[in-house]
Chains A and B, each alone.
Chain A
Amino acid sequence: MASRHAGAAGGIKMRWTKLRGIVFFIGLIAIWEIASRSELLNPLVMPAPVRIFDVFSDLVASGQIPWQILVSMRRAAAGYLLAAAVFIPLGIVMGLSQRIYCLFEVAVEMLRPVPPPVVIPVAMLFFGLEEEMKIFVIFFSCAWPILLNTLDGVRSVDWVLRNTARTFGLSRLKTIRQVILPAASPQIMTGLRVSLPITLILVVISEMVGSTDGIGYFILDSQRRFRVVQMYAGMLSLAILGYTLNQLFNLLHRVLMSWHWGMMRRME
Chain B
Amino acid sequence: MSRLKQFNWSGWLFFGLLLLAWEFGARGAPKLQLYFPPLTRVLAALLASAQSGPLIGQLMITVGRFLEGYLLSVAIGVMLGVVLGYFRLAHELLETLIEFLRPMPSVAIIPVAILMLGISDSMIVAVTVYATVWPILINTIDGVRHIEQVLVQTGRSFGLSKARILWQVILPAASPYIVTGLRIGLSIALILVTTAEMVAGSKGLGFFILDEERSMNSGNMYAGIIVVAALGYGLNRLFLTVEARVLKWHHGMLARQAA
Contacts and interface: CB of A to CB of B under 8 A. Distances in A.
B116 A45 contact: yes
Interface stretch (A154-162, A220-228, A256-264): A220-228
Given A102-B10, A201-B105, A113 B221 contact: no
A103 B108 contact: no
Chain A binding surface SS class: helix
Contacts of B112: 223, 231-232, 235
A114 B218 contact: no
Interface string B194-205: 110011000000
A137 to B, nearest CB: 12
A117 B127 CA distance: 15
Given A99-B10, A106-B14, A107-B15, A204 B93 contact: no
A75 B196 CA distance: 22
Given A17-B92, A21-B96, A239-B101, A117 B14 contact: no
A24 B103 contact: no
Interface stretch (B70-78, B136-144, B227-235, B240-248): B227-235
Report the 5 A-B pairs with minimum CB-CB distance, sorted nearest first: A242-B103, A106-B11, A223-B111, A121-B213, A113-B232
A173 to B, nearest CB: 25
Contacts of A223: 111-112, 114-115
Interface string A117-145: 11111101110000000000000000000
B35 interface: yes
A21 B93 contact: yes
Interface in B33-58: 35
8 contacts: A104-B11, A115-B229, A118-B225, A121-B225, A122-B222, A209-B210, A235-B104, A242-B103
A22 B100 CA distance: 10
A201 B107 contact: yes
Contacts of A188: none
Interface residues of A, number: 55
Contacts of A18: 92, 95-96
B80 interface: no
A245 B191 CA distance: 22
B110 A105 contact: no
B190 interface: yes
A181 interface: no
B111 A219 contact: yes
B206 interface: yes
Most B CB contacts (10 A, CB to CB) among A24, A115, A208, A219 go to: A115
B103 A243 contact: yes
A104 B107 CA distance: 32
Chain B binding surface SS class: helix
A205 B230 CA distance: 22
A242 B104 contact: yes
A209 B221 CA distance: 16
Contacts of A243: 99-100, 103
A204 B105 contact: yes
Interface of A: 17-18, 20-22, 24-25, 28, 45, 99, 102-107, 110-111, 113-122, 124-126, 197, 200-201, 203-205, 208-209, 216, 219-220, 222-223, 228, 231-232, 234-235, 238-239, 242-243, 245-246
Given A21-B97, A111-B229, 15 more contacts: A17-B92, A21-B95, A21-B96, A99-B10, A113-B229, A113-B232, A114-B228, A115-B232, A117-B206, A120-B198, A125-B221, A126-B35, A197-B103, A204-B107, A239-B104
Most A CB contacts (10 A, CB to CB) among B8, B115, B195 go to: B195
Contacts of B232: 113-115
B111 A220 contact: yes
Contact of A220 (B95, B110, B224, B233): B110
Contacts of A124: 213
Given A208-B107, A235-B112, A118 B15 contact: no
A197 B105 contact: yes
B97 A24 contact: yes
A245 B10 CA distance: 41
Contact of A238 (B10, B108, B198): B108
A20 B91 CA distance: 10
A26 to B, nearest CB: 9
A113 B236 contact: yes
Nearest to B233: A113
B120 interface: no
Nearest to A124: B213
B106 interface: yes
B221 A24 contact: no
A135 B167 CA distance: 47
Nearest to A220: B111
Given A115-B228, A126-B35, A219-B108, A103 B14 contact: yes
Contacts of B212: 121
